[in-house]
Structure formats: C-alpha cells, structure tokens
C-alpha cells in the first residue's frame, strides 16, 4: 500500500485508538483529559489535510485490507471529495466540541467517560464516511447508533436522558436493520459490495426488479437516522443529552449520516420517479413541519432541534429532486448548516450554562449582559434565517432556485410554494431566537446571574460565526473548490451543472421568494403571541406517547409469545426440537430422490449377529426397565461394550480402545451420581404420553437409521487419501488416526482438550457452589448409610488394585508411547491411567486415596493445555504455522521403534489434560460424599489381617 493508503487507514483507526486515552488521562486532570481527546482528533485532521490536496485534484484514495474475502467483506476505505468534506467536518467540529465540552461539563460529570464515548462516536462516524464497502459501512452505521445511545443517555440519572437515548436507539437501530436488508439486495444486484463498483452499476440497479425494495429499505435507514418525517420525533427527545453532544450529533454528524448516505448512493439510486417522489416529498414535508413546530417551541434546544429537522428535510428534498444542480446545492448547504447550527447549539448551551434556563419565556435582554454571546448567536441565527451577507442566504437562494424549477406530479408551483413557506417559517423562528433571547428589557429573575462565559467556551462558536460571515461574503474563494469536488463526487459521472457561488444573482424568481419569506417571517414574529395561543389550542398527536404505546404493545406481545412457548417444561421443548428435526429431515430425504447404491453390502458373521442382538435387546430393555436405575446402568455398560466390539470388527482399533475406557469411567460416574439420587424412577407418565414419545422416538430412530443405511451403500469423495499418503512422510507416524489428531487436525484436538478441561473446572465449580449453599446442609442431614455393606473396603479388592496399579500404569505408558504408530495415544492413555487411579479410590475410599495424591488435578489440566499449546507455539520460532510438527525416531530395542517429535509432546499435553479432567470430575463427585457424612477411613481396608495378628499377639 502507498503512503496515502496507509494514512487513510490510520485516520479511520485513530479515534478508536484514541478512545483508550481519556479514561486513563482523567487521572491527570480534566484539562489533560481534554488535551488527550483533542490529540488523536487533531492528528487525524492533520493526516486528512495531508491527503486533501490529492483529493482536491480529483483523485480518489483507496486503501484495502482483506478481512473475509469469501463474504465480500474487506476493510476497504476510500477518500473522495464527499468523504473529505464529511471527514473534515467530523474531525473539525470534533475538536471544537472537545474544547467546548472541557468548559461545559461540570466537576460532577465523569469527563473521561464522556470523552471516551465522544471518540468512539467520532470513529464510527468517520468509518461511515470513509468506507468503501457497504458491509463495512453498515457496521459503522450500527456503531453510531450504539455510541450515540451512550452519549445521549450520558446523564443517566435523568429519566429524559434515558428515555431519549432508548428512543434514539430504537428508531435509528430499526432503520439500520432495514438498511442491512436494502444494502444486501443492492450488493446482490450490483454483484459487489464495494461502493465504488456499486456506483458504477447505477443503470443496472435502477433497471432491476429489486430496485424498489432495496430503495425503500435503504431510505428507511437514512430517514430514521436523519430524522425525516414521520421518524423525526426521536431527535428532539435526544436533546436531553449534554449540549456538546447535541451540538456534535445534530449539526455535523449523526443526523447527517442519513444525508451522507443519500448523497453517497446518489449516482446509483437517484434519477428515477420513485426516488423523486419518495425522497423529495419526504424532505419537503419534513422541512415544513419541522419549521412549523420549531416556531412554537419555547425550549431553546427544542427550537434548534426542530429547525435541524427542518434543514435536514431541506437537504433531503434537494437530494431527492435528482438534478445535479440540486445535489450540488445540497453539498453547499451541508457546509453552511454545519457552521451556523453548531454555533447556535453551542450558544444555546452557553445561555443555559450561564443563566440556568433554556426557556425562552424566562429569557430576554441578554444583549447587554452577554455581548459576545449575543454577537455570535445573532450572526448564526441570521444565517439560519437566510439573510444576505451570511452563508445561509446563499444556499437558501440556490435551494429556492432548484425548488422553483421542480414540477411535482405535473404541478409546477407546489414545490416552490412549500419551499417558500419553509423558508418563511425558518426566518420566523430564527428571528424569534434572536429577538426573544437577546432583545427586550433586562430582567431581574434569571435563575443565575448571566455573564459571558470564559474564552474557551465561546472560542468554538466564535470561530464558526467567523466562517459564517466569511463564506457569506466570499463564498467562491473559501469553499468553492470544496463544493466543486464534493459535489462532483455526489453526482458521479453526470456533467457538472452550472452554478455560481455569489451573493447577487440578479433579479430572479428565487429573490422574490426570498423577499416573501423574510417579510412573511417578520409578520409571523410580530404575530407570534397570538399564533402561539392558537397553536397550543389545536389538538396534535404527541409522538412520544404514540411511541411509548407501540413499545408497550410490542413488549406485551413478546411476553405473551414467550410465556406461551416457554412454559418451563423441558420435555416439551425437547419434543418440539426432535419433531422439528425429524420433519426437516423427512423433507430433505424426500426431496430429490436417491442415487442408486454403489457399494456392495459387507457379509455378516455369527458373532457380529450375536453382538447386534445383545445391543438391540439391551437398548430395548433400558427403555422398558429404566425405572430400575441400577439395572439401566448395567445395560448401558453392555451397549458400550458391544459398540467397542463393533469398532474392533470394523477396522477402528483406536475407537474401540477409547470407547471401552470411556465406558468404564462413565459407568463409575453414573454410579457415583446414583449414590445420591433416588434409586428408581417413579412411573408417572400417562399411557398417552408414552405413546406420543414412542411415536416420536420411532420416527426419529427410523429416520436416522434409514439415513445411515442410505449413505453407507453409496460411495463418497473423501479427503482421507491425503492423510493416508502423508501420515508417515509428513507426520512421522503410521497410525493415521493418531497422526490426524496430533498433527493434521492438531488445532481441533487442542480445542477439544481445552473444552474437556473447562468441563472439568465447570464441574468442580458447580460442586463447590453446591457445597457452600443450602444443599450442603441437606446433605449432612441425609442418612445415606442404609443397606451399606459392612465390608466397604474389602481386603481382596484392596490387594488386587494395588497389584494392578503398576501394571495398569505400565499399560497406559505403553499405549501412550506406541500411539503414534499403533492404536493408542494420549486420549486412551489418559483414560487408562484414570481408571487405574479410580480403582484405588474404589478400593480404599476417597479420603485415604486423597491423602496420597501429590499433584492437584487442576494443575494437571493446566499443565497439559500449556504443554500442548507451547508445543504448537514452538513452531513459530521456526517461522512455521502453529502446531507444525518436527519429528525423529528413537529405537528402544525391547519395545519397538517410536517417534519422538513435537507430536509426541503435544500428545503428552493431551494425555495430561484428559487425565486431569477425568479425575477432577470424579473427584468432585466423590467429595460430595464427604459432606454426606461418609466416614473417613485412615486404613486402606476395613479388616486388616495383619492388624488382627498383632491384636492376637497383644492379647496373648
């Protein structure tokens, strides 16, 4: 990758990396915390400026890191004019907001947390505008929803904060879900998830049958994010956030994401009737409604919130009109709206901060008390009103021009008239902001004594207000190139329309519309008192109430569904699961018919038939007499044994060894468990229930059996040829099964021993919790001593197990050593040695054996996993992938040649983990016995003949 590409990736990562800093730096003080928030932002901005000249020359910078190429998901970024504009806004305003928030937040607010959220949000926004892959964009899109949730709900002690955050998350999250669907359809039509390729495929997309569904789903995402009618209601409620958040989210970032998306997708989606009627109409309606509500809001932030809704509607309408001219105007207005709206939000925050209220009715006369704030606020508000010499005027004129040329359903006037109405209302609420806050008499009942804030707090808005004026006077020199390159990126391959960024366009329709708007706005302001009374008397739907009602209904519905389906009957869930599996299997089975069998059946010999018969009879008997639990265990043992024989017969000696040793420990485990549980199962199933379960069981068994039968008679392509060929030459062993376990599929085995180890720890932890709870008391009070043999540790057994111990260990070691070449290996060896140890437990009792244990089983599991892991990691030293094996041979003459290599060490790890896990499981169960009042035996056996002889002598 080139330097520019690297820079691009770094820009995208910086906010996320930077998010680690504020939480730590807050310990060094609030100022340090703010500095370290500003640092990554400033660095990213600097890198962006380094890349800017190339983009301004018309280049597009790409960077790509492969991530999941199979899914078309690559971490690919691009920087074109539009991305540059947005990234600059996000980072630039981010810096100003950091400065502002440093002074705005009080000492009680956790500033480190705030700045962490802010940087996370900044990173998510930056990701959206820099993504060159729609899947990646979707991820960042969801991240903005999540991080804005944290920011909006930052004052989580306020109910409005929590509710506003939830509402924002619900609305934008739902829209995001719809958008995922739309984007996937879009990617499918275009044949690529890369934005740059999708934009090239505009004609194919618009011609596709799936265009309308994709368009609607994507627009749902954009409209919810950008608070378009009827999803506009979340934005005012999000005003419960601290003002720096509102200023950031609702001027430069969050709500502009939807606008950005429409601009980004403009070459691919725009230009159709559907686009025009959905987007332009929604934008127009939102613009008028937002402006109308804003006029009657008394809360400064609510007024600004609805004016933001209105201006977002304006932008949406411009993009929806679909002409290149309107799109370029939209880009210009994005810049202008950013400057005046961020300044206004910060001004509102200053007023709130200094006077203690945001209620317009309690303000007025601040002109004299807060002169600096007054100048900044007035400039920004006049720009919002669209008064000449300020930048808002320029884009408003161009907007009116575009609206004037637009025909809606054959009617040439309707868009122009509504746009003028919107502009008129905009003038009215902007002037009201100035008039009712700053003018009028000085009052003496402000909640606190107003004065201008410290420099740090007004520096940001002052900078923006300067921009408002400078752009307003010499637009072409300041933002002309940026508008050209960003507008060019929006309209794609379309020809650049003629437009000029200047104050005086001559006497034209837009000028008259503008004059009407200003005059009308003044009239509205003059009549505001009366209009306000009428407005308040009119009935109107309360969005929050409707939203809450919908949420309550959905919650009630899901509770009903959950309670109906999840009623605490495990048997029922299992039955549903099994029936569904059988039904799906039957559908799949009956689908396309079967190929003709290609394999001959193998012959059956008499012993096999006998074993089969025993297995069938044993299974049937368990079903019939499972009420007698001990008997059922014996039968389980028979089944396991028969299966082991089957493995021997069918060329699977390793499996046979494993099965028979697992069988032994399983039976011991179940016997131990049964010691504490009822010895029989009550007969409580009704006949009908048995019949139902029988039918399900036979269907399931029949299905599985038929499936097995069907595939066993047909050949299959297998990858095992590779394993057979390379087992000796590549893995150094002749037992292919073992080589697969420790070499070819060593990583799987590594995972499996870890799972086994975790299972051991889980059991230990469960037992420990149990023995510290009420169950322990119950255990102590339970009398398990009935029917117990008086000779619990018989002499014969003790002696026999002692004799067998070394033999069993030797067999275990032998099986382990030969495992690579002959049937055996770490798994089986671990199990065999566990059995040898378990026999000691059984013969001499738990306590006696426990006293002689030297190594903790927990440690054994850990060491085993560590040995296996380190063996694998050692391959890194040789620049090979994890678990690449090395091997050589050692000849031990009396036994046989065995390989010594890394696989051997790995198998040792497997062995230790298996041994540790199995022993820990059974040990945990045995420990319960101690609580149940099991007497502690200090002697290895109950009746020691040697002792008896001593006693006799003593007596004599």
Partner 1 sequence: MELIVASAVGVLTAGGVYLVLRLRSFPVILGLALLSYAVNVFLFASGRLAINMPPVLQKYGEASYTDPLPQALVLTAIVISFGMTAVLVMIALGAFFEAETDEINMDDPAPAGDEDRA
In angstroms, the CA 346 to CA 377 distance is 9
Residue (441 or 590) nearer to partner 1, CB: 590
Closest approach of partner 1 to the CB of residue 743, in Å: 10
The three-state DSSP-derived secondary structure of 564-630 is: HHCCCCHHHHHHHHHHHHHHHHHHHHHHCCCCCCCCCCCCCCHHHHHHHHHHHHHHHHHHHHCCEHH
Closest approach of partner 1 to the CB of residue 749, in Å: 6
Closest approach of partner 1 to the CB of residue 805, in Å: 22
Residue (748 or 939) nearer to partner 1, CB: 748
Closest approach of partner 1 to the CB of residue 433, in Å: 60
Closest approach of partner 1 to the CB of residue 908, in Å: 16
Whole-number Cα distances in Å, 236 to 125, 303, 345: 20, 9, 13
Lookup: tokens for 919: 């022993």
Chain centroid to CA 257:
20
Residue (574 or 870) nearer to partner 1, CB: 574
Closest approach of partner 1 to the CB of residue 699, in Å: 8
- Render the burial of 427-439: b for 16+ CB within 10 Å, e for the rest: bbbbbbbbbbbbe
**Whose CA is closest to 323, among 503, 496, 81?**
496
Residue (144 or 661) nearer to partner 1, CB: 661
Closest approach of partner 1 to the CB of residue 716, in Å: 7
Residue (166 or 631) nearer to partner 1, CB: 631
Residue (180 or 756) nearer to partner 1, CB: 756
Whole-number Cα distances in Å, 663 to 391, 666, 754, 828, 904: 83, 5, 21, 12, 26
Structural contact between residues 903 and 820, judged by C-beta atoms closer than 8 angstroms: yes
Whole-number Cα distances in Å, 546 to 230, 234, 276, 582, 599: 12, 12, 29, 44, 67
Closest approach of partner 1 to the CB of residue 628, in Å: 11
Residue (584 or 796) nearer to partner 1, CB: 584
Closest approach of partner 1 to the CB of residue 44, in Å: 48
Report DSSP state, residue 454.
P
Task: Give 795's contacts (C-beta < 8 A, 6+ positions apart).
Answer: 941, 943, 944, 945
Closest approach of partner 1 to the CB of residue 665, in Å: 6
Torsion from C-alpha of 743, 744, 749, 750, nearest 10 degrees:
60
Whole-number Cα distances in Å, 581 to 252, 577, 703, 708: 52, 6, 10, 16
Lookup: tokens for 533: 């009374």
Whole-number Cα distances in Å, 127 to 142, 470, 736: 11, 30, 49
Whole-number Cα distances in Å, 772 to 484, 673, 766, 846, 856: 73, 19, 10, 20, 21
Closest approach of partner 1 to the CB of residue 719, in Å: 7
Structural contact between residues 825 and 742, judged by C-beta atoms closer than 8 angstroms: yes
Residue 875: what are its φ and ψ, rounded to 5°?
Answer: -60, -25
Length of the chain: 956
**Whose CA is closest to 294, among 379, 225, 209, 360?**
360
Closest approach of partner 1 to the CB of residue 919, in Å: 11
- Give the Cβ contact number of residue 888 at 10 Å: 9
Lookup: tokens for 601: 């059946």
Closest approach of partner 1 to the CB of residue 774, in Å: 7
Closest approach of partner 1 to the CB of residue 783, in Å: 15
Residue (516 or 776) nearer to partner 1, CB: 776
**Whose CA is closest to 297, among 311, 286, 307, 284?**
307
Structural contact between residues 367 and 439, judged by C-beta atoms closer than 8 angstroms: yes
Which helix (DSSP H) or strand (DSSP E) does residue 888 occupy? strand 887-891
Residue (71 or 604) nearer to partner 1, CB: 604
Tell me if residue 77 falls in helix, strand or coil: strand
Closest approach of partner 1 to the CB of residue 248, in Å: 49
Residue (491 or 921) nearer to partner 1, CB: 921
**Whose CA is closest to 134, among 78, 223, 194?**
194
Lookup: tokens for 417: 């008239």
Closest approach of partner 1 to the CB of residue 856, in Å: 18
User: Is the CA virtual torsion 316, 320, 322, 326 positive or negative?
Assistant: negative
Residue (592 or 781) nearer to partner 1, CB: 781
Structural contact between residues 437 and 351, judged by C-beta atoms closer than 8 angstroms: yes
Residue (228 or 727) nearer to partner 1, CB: 727
**Whose CA is closest to 621, among 635, 605, 606, 610?**
635
Residue (56 or 674) nearer to partner 1, CB: 674
**Whose CA is closest to 54, among 78, 76, 80?**
80
Residue (411 or 769) nearer to partner 1, CB: 769
Report DSSP state, residue 253.
S
Residue (11 or 668) nearer to partner 1, CB: 668
In angstroms, the CA 547 to CA 17 distance is 37
Residue (221 or 916) nearer to partner 1, CB: 916
Closest approach of partner 1 to the CB of residue 843, in Å: 22
Task: Give 609's contacts (C-beta < 8 A, 6+ positions apart).
Answer: none
Residue (290 or 746) nearer to partner 1, CB: 746
Closest approach of partner 1 to the CB of residue 619, in Å: 4
Residue (822 or 840) nearer to partner 1, CB: 822
Report DSSP state, residue 411.
B
**Whose CA is closest to 503, among 391, 359, 365?**
391
């Amino acid at each position: 990758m080139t330097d520019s590409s690297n820079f691009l990736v770094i820009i995208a990562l910086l906010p996320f990396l930077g998010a680690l800093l504020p939480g730590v730096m807050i310990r060094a003080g609030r100022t340090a915390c703010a500095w370290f928030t500003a640092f990554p932002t400033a660095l990213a901005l600097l890198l962006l400026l380094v890349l800017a000249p190339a983009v301004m020359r018309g280049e597009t910078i790409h960077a790509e890191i492969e991530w999941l190429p199979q899914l078309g998901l690559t971490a690919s970024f691009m920087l074109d004019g539009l991305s540059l504009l947005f990234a600059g806004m996000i980072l630039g305003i981010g810096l100003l907001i950091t400065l502002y928030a440093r002074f705005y937040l009080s000492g009680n607010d956790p500033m480190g947390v705030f700045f962490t959220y802010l940087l996370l949000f900044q990173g998510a926004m930056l990701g959206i505008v820099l993504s060159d892959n729609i899947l990646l964009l979707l991820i960042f899109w969801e991240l903005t929803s999540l991080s804005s949730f944290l920011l909006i709900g930052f004052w989580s002690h306020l109910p409005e904060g929590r509710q506003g955050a939830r509402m924002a998350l619900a609305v934008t999250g739902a829209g995001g879900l719809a958008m995922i669907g739309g984007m996937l359809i879009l990617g499918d039509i275009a044949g690529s998830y890369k934005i740059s390729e999708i934009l090239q495929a505009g004609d194919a997309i618009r011609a596709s049958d799936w265009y309308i569904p994709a368009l609607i789903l994507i627009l749902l995402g954009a409209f919810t994010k950008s608070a378009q009618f009827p999803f506009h209601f979340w934005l005012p409620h999000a005003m419960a956030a601290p003002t720096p958040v509102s200023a950031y989210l609702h001027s430069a970032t969050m709500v502009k994401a939807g606008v950005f998306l429409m601009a980004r997708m403009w070459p691919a989606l725009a230009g159709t009737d559907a686009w025009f009627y959905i987007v332009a109409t929604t934008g127009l309606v939102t613009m008028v409604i937002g402006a109308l509500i804003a006029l009657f809001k008394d809360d400064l932030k609510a007024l600004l919130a609805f004016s933001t809704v209105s201006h977002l509607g304006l932008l949406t309408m411009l993009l929806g009109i679909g002409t290149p001219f309107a799109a370029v105007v939209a880009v210009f207005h994005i810049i202008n709206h950013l400057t005046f709206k961020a300044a206004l939000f910060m001004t509102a925050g200053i007023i709130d901060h200094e006077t203690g209220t945001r209620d317009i009715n309690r303000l007025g006369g601040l002109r004299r008390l807060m002169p600096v704030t007054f100048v900044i606020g007035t400039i920004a508000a006049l720009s919002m009103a669209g008064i000449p010499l300020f930048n808002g005027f320029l884009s408003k004129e161009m907007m009116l021009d575009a609206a004037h040329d637009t025909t809606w359903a054959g009617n040439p006037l309707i868009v122009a008239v509504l746009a003028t109405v919107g502009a008129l209302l905009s003038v009215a609420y902007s002037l009201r902001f100035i008039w009712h806050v700053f003018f009028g008499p000085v009052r003496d009942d402000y909640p606190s004594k107003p004065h201008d804030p410290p420099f740090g707090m007004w520096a940001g808005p002052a900078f923006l207000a300067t921009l408002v004026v400078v752009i307003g006077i010499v637009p072409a020199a300041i933002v002309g190139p940026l508008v050209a390159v960003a507008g060019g990126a929006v309209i794609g391959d379309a020809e650049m329309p003629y437009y000029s960024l200047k104050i005086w366009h001559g006497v034209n329709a837009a000028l008259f519309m503008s004059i009407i708007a200003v005059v009308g706005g003044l009239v509205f302001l003059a009549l505001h008192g009366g209009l306000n009374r009428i407005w308040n008397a009119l009935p109107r739907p309360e969005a929050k109430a409707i939203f809450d009602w919908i949420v309550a209904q959905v919650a009630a519905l899901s509770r009903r569904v959950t309670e109906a389906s999840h009623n605490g009957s495990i048997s029922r869930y299992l039955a549903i699961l099994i029936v569904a599996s059988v039904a799906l299997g039957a559908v799949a089975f009956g689908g396309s018919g079967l190929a003709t069998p290609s394999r001959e059946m193998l012959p059956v010999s008499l012993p096999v038939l006998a074993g089969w018969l025993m297995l069938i009879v044993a299974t049937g008997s368990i079903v019939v007499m499972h009420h007698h639990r001990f008997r059922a265990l014996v039968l389980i043992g028979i089944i396991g044994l028969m299966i082991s024989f089957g493995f021997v017969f069918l060329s699977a000696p390793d499996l046979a060894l494993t099965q028979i040793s697992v069988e032994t420990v399983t039976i011991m485990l179940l016997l131990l468990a049964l010691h504490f549980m009822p010895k029989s199962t009550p007969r409580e199933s009704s006949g009908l229930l048995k019949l139902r379960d029988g039918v399900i069981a036979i269907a399931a068994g029949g299905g599985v059996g038929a499936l097995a039968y069907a595939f066993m008679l047909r050949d299959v392509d297998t990858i095992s040829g590779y394993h057979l060929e390379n087992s000796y030459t590549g893995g150094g062993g002749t037992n292919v099964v073992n080589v697969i376990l420790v070499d070819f599929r060593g990583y799987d085995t590594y995972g499996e021993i870890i799972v086994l180890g975790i299972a051991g720890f889980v059991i230990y932890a469960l037992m420990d919790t149990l023995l510290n709870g009420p169950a322990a008391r119950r255990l102590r009070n339970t009398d398990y001593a009935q029917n117990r043999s008086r000779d619990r540790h018989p002499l014969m057994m003790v002696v026999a197990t002692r004799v067998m111990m070394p033999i069993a260990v030797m067999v275990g070691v032998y099986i382990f050593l030969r495992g690579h070449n002959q049937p055996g290996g770490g798994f089986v060896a671990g199990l065999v040695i566990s059995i040898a140890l378990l026999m000691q437990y059984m013969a001499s009792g738990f306590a006696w054996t426990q006293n002689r244990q030297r190594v903790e089983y927990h440690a054994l599991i850990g060491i085993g996993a560590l040995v296996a892991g380190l063996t694998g990691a050692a391959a890194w030293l040789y620049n090979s992938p994890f678990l690449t094996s090395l091997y050589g041979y050692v000849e031990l003459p009396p036994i046989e040649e065995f390989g010594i290599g890394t696989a051997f060490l790995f198998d040792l790890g497997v062995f230790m983990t298996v041994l540790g896990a199995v022993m820990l499981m059974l040990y945990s169960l045995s420990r319960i016995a101690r609580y149940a009042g099991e007497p502690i035996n200090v002697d290895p056996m109950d009746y020691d003949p040697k002792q008896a002889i001593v006693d006799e002598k003593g007596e004599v």
